Structure 1
Amino acid sequence: MTLPPRLAVILTPERHSVLFALKGIIAMSLALYLAMLMQLERPYWALISAVFLQVRPETGLVIEKGLCQIGGTLVGGAMGLLILATLLPYPFMALLALTLWIGLNAAASAWVRQANFIYGFAMAGITATLIVVISIANPTTTSSVGIFHVANARVSEIIVGAV
């Protein structure tokens, strides 16, 4: 008795596919466990970081993508802190500077052809966005310690997930 092709794919997967799925599940579970063990503020960022690295099955490309993810997060975190350090009293100007930063990353990603570098530019833009927007969302409670805490949480959780 032969199975229909769609059912055969589900019930009799290839060994390579099963191993890839198991590696992904272990990596994502480990990232979430470590983030929770370290009592990071938003452990789901570590999980999401690990999920995005599992998109490519080739090991060398996953390592390169992880390095681009970490590099983009560090650059974006530094830029988010720089924007807030100079423009925190002026939220409109901070959002304008953030818009320019996102535009610069979009332009830079259009100039490169390597998908992992494009991903690094995207991480630089989104990390700065999260830091700036979360920090200026409630200006009455925003302080330099709070801003650094948001940036530290984002960067550390992404690095835990990537590693």
Structure 2
Amino acid sequence: MDTTRDRDGEGRARNARPRDGLGRPLPYGAAGVERQPEGVVRTPQESVAEAQALLDAGKPFHAHEVFEDAWKSGPEAERALWRGLAQLAVGLTHAARGNLTGGVRLLRRGAGAVAEWEADAGPERGRPHGMDLAGLVRWAHELADTVERTGEAVDARARAPRLR
């Protein structure tokens, strides 16, 4: 076994370096932001509220982890929705980090996934967990267009979407 890698309690490779608000690794010993615990099962309402608080704080990478937990633990019928939301958060993360091509690609992919889920769900589903899916899709396309047009990284906090 490679003993030079950081490992979690079960022996799986897990980077223990601190991270900044956009999830970038910092040098060992540097002050970072608290990482989101992985594998947390939340209600959909808790997931939306926690993700929104992280987005509002300029931490879309961490919001992505909340959405990822929801997609992995939620009902099969909603997994594509949560995965699309995670892609939107990662798209914002990349756009804020300066990976503009990756940011645009993920924003558009996430918007497509959310729009597809909404179309497949039909009008009887309304606004799942109070989320404004049409508004999120618009936000993602507008942000992707802005990033392409300006060729500049964005401020994650200033450009955070409203989930509801």
Q: TM-score range by the shorter chain?
A: 0.3 to 0.5
What's the TM-score, normalizing by structure 2? 0.34
- Point out which structure has higher relative CO (alpha carbons under 8 A, 6+ apart): 1
What's the TM-score, normalizing by structure 1? 0.34
Max radius of gyration: which structure? Answer: 1
